[in-house]
Structure 1
């Protein structure tokens, strides 16, 4: 089995102080995609390049303490792509891709952090620009190689993907335009929401993020906004998926999926 984890860290220093590395030692994933690293290269050097035997590759934001993504892996990649060629969003540290190529197969793992639009109209418009850019990029990549994108997409796709869907119809993360984009990616775009493939009807256990306001986590008033999106051939190998809630490393929970690619 190939175990792949995705986790928005809400700060790598914070998450590791809450027992993340010990959990990784126990869980032993093959790869882990992380988002919101909230650190620069100098902060990671000598401290977080490796966690529990996994080597990290990162895309840092230019702005200190902001965004940033990474991929930790036990397997040496044949190439690393930092950013996806965006004049606007590559400066924000939102995309890192590890390529594992052989003479017969081309396979990528991607950690991606989609913008949030919740802070105001300017950032919502930026989010829409990001969606307009990343869609054709993923479609082109799909023509060239198999891949799994893991990350915080900041979109709850369906009503079952958040607790209070009626109260969030006009809020970023559940806007009709955002949900339509996800539908297009999964239908016309041909990618697979791997968790939903395995758990088509799960609601509360599927949530991956909870607001820090009130008692959202205690009452499980959550959102499912973290995904593993795979090309169909790779998605067929998915065998088990869970959102791990035994410990809290962040305001997000790890999304863990096991793949069997020998079948």
Structure 2
């Protein structure tokens, strides 16, 4: 539990099914860590079966693909505006992006918050179907890049900071995955994906908050396959991020992943990305 009310704690987690995550202890984590805002991805839950998460207002974009995707944002108070998708008809129906506006409260600034679940893609050299899946991912990314510029500028013009968080399914640099050499031709670490990620960052646009805090050290990883000894050996990928506007990013004091103490304690194949902003 936090003692300093000026700290804004923002968290993000790909839950890999919200009902399964709740069974595995999500409620306990939420109570213990007490975040002000939480972005959730891969909810995979019909609206009428959403669990009650006490103390939070849930904004939800389930999409139209039964049992897949779905993004949400938890806030202490109802947001003043909610937007489903980013204006791309091809992708908005899939439940991959949700954005909310929150007014200033309790010493915290006004915020625009995006929760993102970016498509996985595939290795394009593995045949026509894989190449098509990769091109589809690139199309999503190109459309999102333009939208992020508009969203950030809109938030700024209305007096709010902007943060987008979630599962980007891209490791930006060699610091962001354990076995980067053997993954150079695999989806999630391909040159065009990494170039795109670099293109949405900049001194005056968006900062990778956790990388800013951890500098040139590997990780902290946020995803490990369920298979084998990947989790126990920390053979992971950092594909979950918080990207914030410069003023907000500059206030971040601590941040990283809440990696569970054991394989058995995992709620998801991802771990929570949590950042404290000292305002």
1:230 equivalent among 228, 239, 244: 244
Residue 188 of structure 1 deviates from its aligned partner by: 7.8
1-side partners of 2:57 and 2:183: how far apart? 39
- TM-score normalised by length of structure 2: 0.87
Residue 66 of structure 1 deviates from its aligned partner by: 0.5
- Residues 1:239 and 2:253 aligned together: yes
CA RMSD of aligned residues (A): 1.6
Structure 1's unaligned 5+ residue stretches are none
* SS of structure 2 residue aligned to 1:14: helix
- Which residue of structure 2 lines up, in the alignment, with residue 177 of structure 1? 192
Once the two structures are superposed, what CA deviation does each residue of 1:101-146 show, in whole Å capped at 9, x if it has no partner?
46xx752011111110138322211110011100010001121212
* SS of structure 1 residue aligned to 2:134: helix
Residue 75 of structure 1 deviates from its aligned partner by: 2.4
- TM-score normalised by length of structure 1: 0.92
Given that residues 59 and 68 in structure 1 are in contact (C-alpha distance below 8 angstroms), is that contact kept between their aligned partners in structure 2? Answer: yes
Structure 2's unaligned 5+ residue stretches are 1-6, 124-129, 156-160
2-side partners of 1:170 and 1:208: how far apart? 21
Given that residues 30 and 75 in structure 1 are in contact (C-alpha distance below 8 angstroms), is that contact kept between their aligned partners in structure 2? Answer: no
2:45 equivalent among 14, 18, 39: 39
Moved over 4 A (4+): none
Query: Where do 1:110-189 residues align within 5 Å?
Result: 110-118=114-122, 120-145=130-155, 146-187=161-202
2-side partners of 1:53 and 1:172: how far apart? 38
- Residues 1:199 and 2:214 aligned together: yes
Counterparts in 2 of 1:95 and 1:75: CA distance versus 1, 3 Å:
same
Once the two structures are superposed, what CA deviation does each residue of 1:60-111 show, in whole Å capped at 9, x if it has no partner?
1211110110001112211111111111111110111110246xx7520111
Query: Where do 1:9-158 residues align within 5 Å?
Result: 9-44=15-50, 48=51, 50-101=52-103, 107-118=111-122, 120-145=130-155, 146-158=161-173
Of 35-44 and 159-168, the range deviating more from structure 2: 35-44
1-side partners of 2:209 and 2:148: how far apart? 16
How many matched pairs?
254
Pick the structure with more strand per residue.
1
